[in-house]
């Protein structure tokens, strides 16, 4: 367990979380807001918010971005501390690590911990221990939203200090990670996508040699706090470990990935987030005395490359591209819907993605009877309990909703908003939810669920 919380004594929003929410019902929005604020307060550390007190006791990259959006509604200064704390761990090459480790926690309190990553051996790593991977670059849009929610002088100063670091993050992805040469960034590990065990990675992972028995040498932290049937399998983890070992062996260098690395995939979400980040930076740039033009140009190039390389007109959705085979992965997952966040996505692709989202595979509607799943619910490998292989998640629903609002579909966005609120009203601020019943799964008192609930309750239009 983490120590030293600045938000007061730790409160367990586990079983009581679900019971309290169920008693309030979906119409008691004030009670839901109080629940969300209490969850964030209980997860606050000295300069960041942990995703949860049980499964995730350190700082995670895209969690902090989403959490900053929530803090901007109630404690704006914490939104900036959240982002500033994360970017203090930025590597010299511009990468923002997906985990920043709390040195106050004992060794072995989380797997894979700092001793596994050994980031201190890598050139350009920060003094604090981190992982060597990245996560979707949702930070520039989060920073812009945080400022727009509460546009103070202090917020503007914090945003301007963050701007060059956000630019460096984008530069890293656009240069070091364009392994395919087509203008898109690739991920070198499923964890970098944020959707760890999505069926989108099954085919690329199958080519990574691994033996589940390898995991006997490690103690998984996640299955000590959550049902193993809800988590990635030991074989998944054996492959995750093998991929990290390959990257770590070369001290997380990116100069010869194509020649040696076993997992190289262009992810729709990571690249859609990268394009959305350039649009956000174009808005931030004038405040920082910079030219927004190059950001707009890069955003247009990313959108064009994403459509050219990852859109399949036959399926009408986006798919990851496995650079090892130069083929699109056939799985239809929620990743394919996330390019809706791009304001310059062509109308043809917008219409196709809306049709895909409204199909039986995902069930988006003005009035939804079930939440948005993370995987095609008609697919034979749909698993309603297992992490990213079916369950519903607040953050991807939030991203899809933002895209729908931006492309003139407030009716569908409203249906998705109501579904998101209903999940928390029924089950509390869980990490993820059963895609049929809405039951809470994973960790209780989860940070980004609380934060993004605050944002949808505010119901601001996109900007």
Q: Please list the pLDDT of the chain residue by residue as tens digits (463 residues).
A: 333 323 333 333 333 343 334 433 446 999 999 999 999 999 999 999 999 998 899 999 999 999 999 999 999 999 999 999 999 999 999 999 999 999 999 877 788 899 999 999 999 999 999 999 999 999 999 999 999 999 999 999 999 999 999 999 999 999 999 999 999 999 999 999 999 999 999 999 999 987 655 544 555 455 455 555 665 677 888 899 999 999 999 999 999 999 999 999 999 999 999 999 999 999 999 999 999 999 999 999 999 999 999 999 999 999 999 999 999 999 999 999 999 999 999 999 999 999 999 999 999 999 999 999 999 999 999 999 999 999 999 999 999 999 999 999 999 999 999 999 999 999 999 999 999 999 999 999 999 999 999 999 998 444 4
Spatial separation of the C-alpha atoms in residues 85 and 409, rounded to whole Å: 36
Say if CB 315 and CB 329 are below 8 A apart: no
Computed from CA positions of residues 240, 242, 247, 251, in that sequence, does the dihedral angle turn out positive or negative?
A: positive
Q: What is the DSSP string of 91-139?
A: -TTS---SEE--TTSPTTSSSS-HHHH-GGGSTT--SS-B-S------H
> Does residue 244 contact residue 112 with C-beta atoms inside 8 Å?
yes
Among candidates 39, 67, 33, 38, which has minimal Cα distance to 53? 39
Q: Which of 278, 322, 431, 455 is the catalytic position?
A: 431
Q: 51 with 63: CB under 8 angstroms?
A: yes
Backbone angles phi, psi at 392, to 5 degrees: -95, 140
**DSSP classification of residue 242:** H
The answer to whether residue 431 is catalytic is yes
Residue burial 12-41, b: 16+ Cβ < 10 Å; e: rest? ebbeebbebbeebeeeeeeebbebbbbbbb
**Best CA proximity match to 352, nearest among 391, 407, 273, 302:** 407
Coil vs helix vs strand at 281 = helix
In this structure, the chain runs to a length of 463
Options 93, 196, 266, 278, the catalytic residue? 196
Strand 311-312 to strand 432-433: parallel, antiparallel, or no bridges (unpaired)?
unpaired
State residue 21's pLDDT score: 41
Please give the distance of CA 332 from its chain centroid, rounded to a whole number: 18
- Do 386 and 442 form a contact (C-beta atoms < 8 A)? no
What phi and psi values does residue 49 have, to the nearest 5 degrees? Answer: -115, 125
**Residue 213's pLDDT is what?**
58
Per the rule left: phi > 0, alpha: psi between -120 and 50, beta: everything else, 423 is: alpha
Which residue do the tokens 């590597």 mark? Answer: 91
Contact 59, 99 (CB under 8 A): yes
Secondary structure (DSSP) of 400-418: HHHHHHHTT-HHHHHHHHH
Reply yes or no on whether 196 is catalytic. Answer: yes
pTM above 0.85, yes or no: yes
Look at residue 219 in the predicted model and tell me its pLDDT.
54
């Amino acid at each position: 367990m983490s120590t030293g919380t600045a938000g007061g004594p730790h409160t367990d929003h586990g079983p009581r979380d679900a019971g309290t929410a169920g008693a309030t019902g979906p119409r008691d929005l004030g009670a839901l807001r109080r629940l969300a604020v209490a969850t964030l307060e209980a997860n606050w550390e000295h300069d960041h918010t942990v995703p949860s007190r049980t499964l995730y006791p350190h700082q995670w990259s895209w969690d902090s971005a989403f959490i900053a959006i929530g803090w901007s509604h109630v404690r704006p200064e914490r939104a900036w501390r959240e982002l500033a704390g994360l970017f203090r761990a930025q590597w010299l090459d511009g990468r923002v690590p997906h985990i920043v480790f709390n040195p106050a926690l004992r060794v072995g309190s989380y797997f894979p911990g700092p001793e596994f990553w050994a980031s201190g051996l890598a050139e350009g790593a920060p003094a604090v221990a981190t992982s060597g991977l990245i996560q979707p670059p949702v930070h520039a849009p989060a920073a812009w939203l945080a400022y727009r929610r509460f546009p103070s002088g202090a917020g503007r100063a914090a945003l301007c200090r963050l701007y060059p670091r956000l630019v460096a993050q984008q530069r890293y992805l656009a240069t070091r990670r364009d392994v395919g040469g087509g203008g898109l960034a690739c991920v070198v590990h499923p964890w970098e996508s944020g959707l760890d065990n999505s069926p989108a990675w099954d085919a690329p992972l199958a080519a990574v040699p691994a033996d589940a028995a390898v995991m006997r040498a490690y103690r998984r932290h996640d299955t000590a706090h959550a049902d193993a049937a809800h988590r990635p399998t030991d074989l998944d983890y054996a492959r995750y470990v093998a991929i990290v070992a390959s990257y770590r062996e070369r001290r997380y260098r990116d100069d010869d990935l194509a020649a040696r690395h076993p997992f190289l995939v262009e992810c729709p979400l990571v690249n859609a987030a990268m394009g959305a980040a350039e649009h956000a930076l174009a808005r931030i740039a004038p405040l920082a005395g910079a030219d927004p033009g190059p950001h707009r140009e890069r955003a247009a190039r990313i959108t064009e490359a994403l459509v050219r390389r990852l859109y399949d007109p036959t399926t009408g959705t986006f798919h990851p591209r496995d650079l090892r085979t130069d083929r699109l992965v056939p799985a239809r997952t929620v990743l394919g819907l996330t390019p809706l966040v791009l304001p310059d996505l062509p109308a043809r692709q917008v219409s196709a993605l809306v049709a895909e989202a409204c199909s039986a595979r995902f069930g988006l509607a003005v009035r939804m009877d079930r939440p948005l799943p993370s995987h095609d619910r008609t697919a034979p490998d749909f698993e309603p309990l297992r992490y990213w292989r079916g369950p519903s998640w607040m953050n991807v629903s939030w991203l899809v909703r933002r895209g729908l609002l931006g492309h003139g579909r407030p009716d569908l966005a409203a249906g998705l908003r109501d579904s998101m609120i209903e999940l928390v009203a029924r089950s509390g601020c869980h990490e993820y939810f059963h895609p049929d019943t809405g039951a809470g799964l994973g960790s209780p008192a989860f940070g980004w669920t609380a934060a993004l609930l605050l944002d949808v309750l505010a119901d601001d239009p996109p900007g």
